[in-house]
Amino acid sequence: MTEPGVVTAYRNGFPESHHRVHAVAVRTDGAVIGTCGDPERVTTLRSAAKPFQAEPLIASGGLDALGLDDRVLAVMCASHAGQDIHVEALERGLAACGLDASALQNSLGTPEERMRHNCSGNHLGFLAHSVHRGWETTGYRLPEHPSQQAALAVIADHAGVDPATIPTMSDGCGVLAFALPLRVIATMYARLPERLPRQFAAMRAHPELVRGAGDLDTEAMRAVPGCVSKGGAEALSCIGLAGEGIGVAVRIDDGNARASAPAALAVLGQLLHWDEPPAGLRALSEPVLENSVGDPVVRLRAQVSLT
């Protein structure tokens, strides 16, 4: 274990608060390239699991059997911003399953609110798999439902561990969530381009559907060739670099997502030997936050060194 990195919030130049950073970069064979903090820190994947949770549907042939295209798949892998482009893909996906928004169990809101919830695509994937397999869609989000057990099996397979050893809990949207060491998560993302080629291609082709303009996941995939990026709640950032055969997992220790982009980009910059971030990522590398009257008063700066 090395010293954690830090993202500091400067308020008009005064260092007001600090966010500790754990990070690890690995090769596809699991060999560690560099670490910062504790690479074995166990953390919940939360939404970073979404590309893997979509795999049972693809492996069963359900994606093609239902006629679902890459735009729908990208939304299944997404923590989207709830924009019309996301809703359009969701509506087509639900219609292909013979369902509507009332089938979504991702929140207590109205059907419209459930459609615009950032996990609705993930839930569509579970519903589509259930429809394809002939399983009951009622209760699809519960841990004992076969769609959740299938997702657990995929996570275990990609992590290379027994499913019974993975700590599980309820995610923010009610489906099964998983916890693994950062090093294992980074290895899963290093291998994602090869082992999940459909998800990789869909996310790369439609980065705007994976999150939204101005967000790290969307902008990293736009700016960095061969990059797939997916964050999870509690400030986890996961990146796979197909051209480099590298996976990265970055966790802000206190769970504050405002520090995620500068920390992740500091790591990427070291791995890719940037003199400065690509144009589309510069604002995210040192975010400036406004106060309630619109003054730009807080700047976040990362000091994260892999060793």
248-to-67, 88, 231, 255 alpha-carbon distances in Å: 33, 32, 11, 17
Q: What pLDDT is stored for residue 1 in this prediction?
A: 82
Percentage of the chain lying above the pLDDT 90 cut: 99
pTM of the model: 0.97
- Of 126, 133, 181, 118, whose CA–CA distance to 152 is shortest? 126
Measured at the CA of 248, the angle between CA 244 and CA 251, to 5 degrees, comes to 165
Q: How would you write the pLDDT of the chain (307 residues) with one tens digit per residue?
A: 899 999 999 999 999 999 999 999 999 999 999 999 999 999 999 999 999 999 999 999 999 999 999 999 999 999 999 999 999 999 999 999 999 999 999 999 999 999 999 999 999 999 999 999 999 999 999 999 999 999 999 999 999 999 999 999 999 999 999 999 999 999 999 999 999 999 999 999 999 999 999 999 999 999 999 999 999 999 999 999 999 999 999 999 999 999 999 999 999 999 999 999 999 999 999 999 999 999 999 999 999 999 9
Q: Hey, is 185 helix, strand or coil?
A: helix
pLDDT digits (tens, 9 = 90+) for 175-192: 999 999 999 999 999 999
**Nearest-angstrom CA–CA distance, 72 and 206:** 10
Amino acid sitting at position 72: V
Beta bridge partner(s), residue 11: 14, 298
Domains and CATH numbers, the chain: 5-303 (3.40.710)
Q: Say what the pLDDT of residue 221 is.
A: 98
| DSSP bridge partners of 169 | 177
- Residue 279's pLDDT is 94
> Residue 223: which residues within 8 A CB-CB, separation 6 or more?
277, 278, 279, 280, 281
DSSP, collapsed to helix, strand or coil, labels residue 62 as helix
CB 187 within 8 Å of CB 193 = no
Query: What's the rounded Cα separation, in Å, for the pair 228 and 232?
Result: 14
Cα torsion 191, 193, 194, 196 to 10°: value is: 100
| Cα 120 to Cα 276: distance, rounded to the nearest angstrom | 36
